[in-house]
Amino acid sequence: MSWASILSVMFASKVGLLLTALPVAFVFFIINIVGSYLIFGGWAGLEQMVRNEQLSVAQFSLVPIPLFVLMGEVLFHTGLAMKSVDAVDAVIRRVPGRLAVVALVAGTIFSAISGSTIATTAMLGSLLLPQMLKRNYEPKTAMGPILAIGGVDILIPPSGLAVLLGSLAGISISGLLVGGIVPGLILSALFIGYVVLRCWLNPALAPVYEDENAPKRHPWVNLIITVVPLIGVFAIVVVSMTSGWATPTESSALGALATVILAGCYGSLTRENLWKSLMGTISISGSLLFIIVGATTFAQLLSFSGATAGLVAVIESSGLPPTAVLIGMLAILLILGFFIDQTSIMMITLPFYMPLLRSMGVDLVWFGILYLLCMQIGLLTPPFGLLLFVLKGVAPPGITVGMIYRAAIPYVWLTMLMMALIFIFPSIVTAFVTN
């Protein structure tokens, strides 16, 4: 059987099973079992599959995933997130679109100490969206920033998806985490500028209001007391990693410990919310590790069958310039983002993308950040963008899916603008990444 036939059968099987709504991990387990039996060779092939899957998750480099998720879960369940929102709100009370800007600023702060995109969106949606609608904010102006900043969580460390990408693709995890900081902050600034400009030009989008529950302390004092320690947790993670004092795994452990200690110092840590944080961490991390197990064997099947090498050879012999190939690869990611989730996209594309990128001599961290931006756009694009449904789940009655779709569109275009800037000026990513 030729490599092209094997590739076609495996891809068609994968798409067909995904369309049955079977969980992603189970889809790949089914394909891996059948493929290992046929390609690796009978029962010996199945034994090899088991060994491969056991080795795929028994890696020190995967430990940051649950630790980063734990940081976000503690932030959410202890109420530290809401205190930060109130502190930021009190400081920027004269800014147009005040609560929408609060969502973006607070979301950026949460992104710096949370590894869960879903948690950030759900938290901001449940806390801020009802408040904005109560104050007569135009619904798109209220919902758009919450959706957009949830996606930024993918870029700014700690990012569970960046760790997953680095593990599956063989890209430096510390490089991805550090390389995402500047693009993530620039993207947040673009979102804030867009909201402020729109609300300044049309104040009816976000009417001014007076806060009756403002903190008694001076706003800047309250901001320093409430927010600066959270930024300190982010600094612990990034500085310890970039300075060489700790590996990404050790940095994530320091960050998780610092988050728990901080919650205890604020008097917000109880046995109940710590238990909820641990259970949330187990649920999210377990699903990601199952996906890694399936993806690893699937990639080995493609490689062993010759499908990966054959596809790479066809593209290399096509005569297309590297820039055209890279743009085509990114376009495929954007198209897939309309229909399937981010982890499935990784499992489908990385076995083909990574050998091709290495043969072309592309900077893998630079491409990894572009890849993550495509994943971010996929979270916001209908009909299956994950964050669209997360926000729908916490939105007040009267908010339709169509309204949420329309709210996300401007931020999709701004994210694509960020991709273009990185493509033209790679130093936005690479300037602070040490090889």
Interatomic CA distance for residues 13 and 226, integer angstroms = 51
pLDDT in tens, 200-250: 999 888 887 666 555 556 677 777 877 788 778 778 877 887 777 877 778
Q: Answer whether residue 256 is part of any domain.
A: yes
pLDDT in tens, 360-393: 889 999 999 999 999 989 888 876 677 887 788 7
Q: Answer whether residue 334 is part of any domain.
A: yes
Position 207 scores a pLDDT of: 82
* Number of domains within the chain: 1
C-alpha count within 13 angstroms, C-beta hemisphere, residue 35: 29
Mean pLDDT, to the nearest integer, of 108-127?
72
Q: Answer whether residue 133 is part of any domain.
A: yes
Write out the residue range of the structural domain in which residue 296 sits.
3-430
Chain mean pLDDT for the chain: 79
Q: Answer whether residue 149 is part of any domain.
A: yes
Q: Answer whether residue 187 is part of any domain.
A: yes
Q: Answer whether residue 435 is part of any domain.
A: no
| pTM greater than the 0.75 cutoff | no
Q: Answer whether residue 290 is part of any domain.
A: yes
Q: Answer whether residue 191 is part of any domain.
A: yes
